[in-house]
């Protein structure tokens, strides 16, 4: 026993010990709950949760009439939780052949010890079935969005492609990535205390990006690609480009390139095939550049179309160099004949009537040596040296399209300026954006008023000269039955690796517009290193005609009074049949699209004259074939296009002699009607 008022030492020690223990616990609680709360919470979450980032769903890309050119589809992706896989080597050995991936790379992922690893992104249904049969613990599926291009190679260089993470890597996919990409989502997978999967939930689903509406027309794009492919194969060319443009607005209706690629498998193709040659490949334009030379001389009032120039019988001396005609020598030619016959000597004399600075100003006014500003990535501004860097030969060389590097887009834009009465429009291809809520936005560039580079009188005079190029000069193969065409051929030697002009390597081109007095289309065809011929008139001009005629008929552009009628089949039937299976999207089909994408074609009407090929008819509407015998070609075309029928012309004359289908036969929209022309009315 202890005395009253005294406390044994062991009790004191016990109290002190308990107090210290409680203090230590309190300090630990403060440390855990306050000081280390954030780090411990993160550690616990990493043990209990796996956060998977889900790609956003890119907005679709449409042509001007609502046809899908690119869309996003939901597919499966395979991922693993390496911490749940007891034997990574065995799992990798089974998964690698099922998914077609490298064994060593996969085993390394599965041995990482992390809580999450991608096994294979965006697999096919067949691959999913193979993985499911393996029944491997720690291997799971998640739905992701994958970009899909339903038309394969069609407009591949315009559309570009998207990577595995749905990021735009080229073309429209790249230039409109911010608008089309949307916002990523997250998937959280929860585990219980034993590490077993307890719940999968989506914390934030991905949101879709804006729909992109292009100025392209799928049918005209198909025509351009089909004829370019034919030309490149026929002449065993290295490559080529075709651009179809509306000169009055600057909108691109088609942009085709060869070689090409499939954006669904873009990594399988070399960089050369993926390059958009229309805006990124430079070439010397040769004689198509003579429209700039002649236009500048006319604009400066140095000459008129009838001014006669002595052309030195085919050769001219510039310093120590002699420049000769490409074909026949000439003595006296009018300015119109200089362009018509593509005289080098005459063009040089026209250019040297102006000072170097004045000539250079006109070249740049036409847009050469600078970017056009088109809404596509990868455009080059070309090569054009200022006058202070010219040699003694430069003035003459530029007059005939040498010592200048241009793109096909720059060339067709310059030709379109002549067609548009002297006003150069900025080319554009994005017609608008449509949000998920149906809101619409239209790029400001589509309303660009353009700038004047030639007076209306000069443009009109140059148009008349370019018509003679087609009817009387080097571009006769570009003649279209029923339409007047204005255009210019080009044949340019390529420069080899030594810096000299190569023997046997050429670029053949033809640029023009039609109908020449009320232009609906401006088209350029460029063929790189053709064989079996190399002049633009024999290589590129025929392709121009095979693209232009069905495009005009498809758009409902009627033949002109006074248009040329030929006694030859321009092979329009094959061209038209090739896109019969690609009909205009009926209005009833638009209801299948999302509300946001309804009627995207209102951004840009189909035809220059606001006329559709099938104005009020559904695709399968049946009508009675009218009697066209004795009617003029123009009258017959108007009637057929109004019915949604596609005319095919043959024979000589301006009056319909016979027809197939016969009068009274049942026809449907999109059918081809054969018209055999004759000289006189019956």
Task: Report the C-alpha gap between 552 and 570 in whole angstroms.
Answer: 14
Tokens of 286: 């040769």
Task: Report the C-alpha gap between 353 and 619 in whole angstroms.
Answer: 58
Q: Over the range 525-547, which residues count as b (16 or more CB within 10 Å of their CB) and which as e?
A: bbbbbbeeebbbbbbbbbbbbbb
| Cβ–Cβ under 8 Å, residues 58 and 68 | no
Task: Report the C-alpha gap between 29 and 478 in whole angstroms.
Answer: 89
Task: Report the C-alpha gap between 613 and 609 in whole angstroms.
Answer: 11
Task: Report the C-alpha gap between 289 and 411 in whole angstroms.
Answer: 8
The Cα angle at residue 432 between residues 431 and 437, in degrees rounded to 5: 155
The Cα angle at residue 107 between residues 103 and 110, in degrees rounded to 5: 145
* E strand or H helix that includes residue 171: helix 171-175
Task: Report the C-alpha gap between 475 and 466 in whole angstroms.
Answer: 9
**For this structure, is 334 an active site residue?**
no
Catalytic residue among 145, 287, 629, 669: 287
Nearest to 295 by CA among 366, 369, 386: 366
Q: Over the range 417-440, which residues count as b (16 or more CB within 10 Å of their CB) and which as e?
A: bbbbbbbbbbbbbbbbbbebeeee
Task: Report the C-alpha gap between 439 and 603 in whole angstroms.
Answer: 13
Tokens of 369: 């040596």
| Cβ–Cβ under 8 Å, residues 578 and 222 | yes
CA distances from 472 to 175, 371, 464, 486 (A): 44, 34, 12, 11
DSSP for 604-639?
S-SSTTS--SSSS--TT-EEEPP--TT-BHHHHHHH
| Cβ–Cβ under 8 Å, residues 443 and 432 | yes
Residues belonging to the active site: 287
């Amino acid at each position: 026993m202890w005395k009253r008022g005294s406390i044994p030492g062991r009790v004191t020690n016990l109290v002190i010990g308990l107090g210290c223990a409680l203090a230590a616990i309190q300090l630990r609680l403060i440390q855990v709950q306050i000081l280390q709360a954030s780090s411990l919470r993160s550690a616990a979450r990493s043990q209990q949760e796996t956060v998977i980032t889900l790609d956003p769903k890119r907005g679709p890309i449409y042509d001007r009439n609502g046809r899908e050119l690119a869309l996003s589809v939901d597919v499966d992706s395979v991922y693993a939780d390496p911490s749940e896989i007891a034997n990574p080597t065995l799992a990798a050995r089974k998964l690698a052949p099922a998914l077609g991936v490298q064994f060593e790379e996969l085993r390394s992922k599965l041995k990482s010890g992390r809580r999450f690893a991608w096994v294979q992104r965006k697999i096919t249904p067949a691959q999913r079935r193979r993985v499911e049969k393996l029944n491997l613990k720690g291997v799971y599926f998640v739905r992701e969005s994958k970009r899909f291009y339903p038309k394969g190679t069609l407009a591949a260089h315009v559309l570009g492609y998207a990577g595995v993470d749905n990021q735009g890597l080229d073309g429209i996919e790249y230039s409109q990535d911010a608008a089309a990409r949307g916002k990523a989502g997250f998937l959280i997978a929860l585990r219980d205390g034993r590490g077993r999967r307890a719940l999968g939930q989506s914390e934030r689903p991905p949101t879709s990006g804006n729909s992109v509406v292009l100025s392209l027309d799928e049918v005209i794009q198909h025509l351009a690609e089909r004829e370019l492919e034919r030309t490149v194969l026929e002449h065993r060319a290295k490559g080529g480009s075709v651009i179809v443009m509306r000169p009055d607005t600057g909108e691109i209706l088609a942009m085709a390139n060869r070689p090409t690629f499939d954006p669904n498998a873009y990594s399988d193709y070399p960089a050369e095939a993926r390059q958009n040659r229309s805006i990124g490949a430079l070439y010397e334009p040769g004689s198509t550049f003579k429209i700039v030379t002649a236009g500048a001389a006319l604009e400066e009032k140095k000459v008129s179309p009838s001014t006669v120039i002595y052309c030195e019988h085919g050769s001219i001396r510039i310093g120590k160099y002699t420049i000769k005609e490409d074909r026949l020598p000439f003595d006296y030619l009018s300015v119109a004949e200089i362009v018509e016959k593509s005289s080098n000597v005459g063009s040089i004399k026209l250019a040297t009537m102006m000072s170097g600075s004045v000539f250079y100003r006109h070249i740049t006014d036409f847009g050469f040596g600078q970017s056009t500003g088109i809404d596509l990535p990868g455009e080059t501004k070309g090569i054009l040296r200022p006058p202070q860097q010219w040699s003694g030969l430069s003035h003459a060389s530029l007059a005939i399209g040498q010592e200048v590097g241009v793109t096909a887009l720059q060339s067709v834009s310059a030709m379109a300026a002549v067609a548009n009465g002297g006003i150069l429009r900025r080319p554009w291809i994005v017609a608008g954006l449509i949000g998920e809520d149906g809101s619409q936005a239209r790029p400001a560039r589509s309303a660009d008023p353009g700038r004047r580079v030639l007076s209306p009188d000069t443009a009109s005079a140059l148009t008349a000269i370019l018509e003679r190029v087609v009817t009387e000069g080097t571009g006769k193969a570009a003649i279209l039955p029923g339409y007047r065409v204005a255009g210019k051929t080009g044949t340019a030697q390529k420069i080899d690796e030594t810096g000299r002009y190569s023997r046997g390597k050429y670029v053949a081109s033809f640029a023009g517009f039609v109908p020449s007095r009320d232009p609906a289309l401006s088209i350029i065809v460029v063929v790189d290193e053709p064989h079996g011929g190399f002049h633009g008139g024999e290589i590129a001009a025929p392709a121009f005609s095979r693209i232009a005629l069905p495009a005009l008929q498809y758009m409902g552009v009627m033949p002109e009074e006074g248009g040329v009628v030929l006694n030859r089949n321009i092979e329009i039937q094959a061209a038209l049949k090739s896109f019969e299976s690609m009909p205009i999207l009926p209005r009833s089909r638009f209801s299948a699209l999302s509300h946001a994408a309804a009627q995207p074609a209102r951004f840009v009407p189909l035809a220059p004259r606001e006329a559709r090929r099938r104005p009020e008819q559904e695709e399968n509407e049946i009508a009675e074939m009218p009697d066209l015998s004795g009617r003029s070609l123009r009258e017959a075309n108007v009637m057929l296009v109004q019915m949604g029928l596609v005319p095919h012309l043959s024979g000589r004359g301006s009056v319909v002699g016979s027809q197939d289908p016969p009068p009274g036969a049942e026809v449907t929209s999109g059918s081809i009607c054969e018209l055999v022309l004759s000289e006189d009315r019956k």
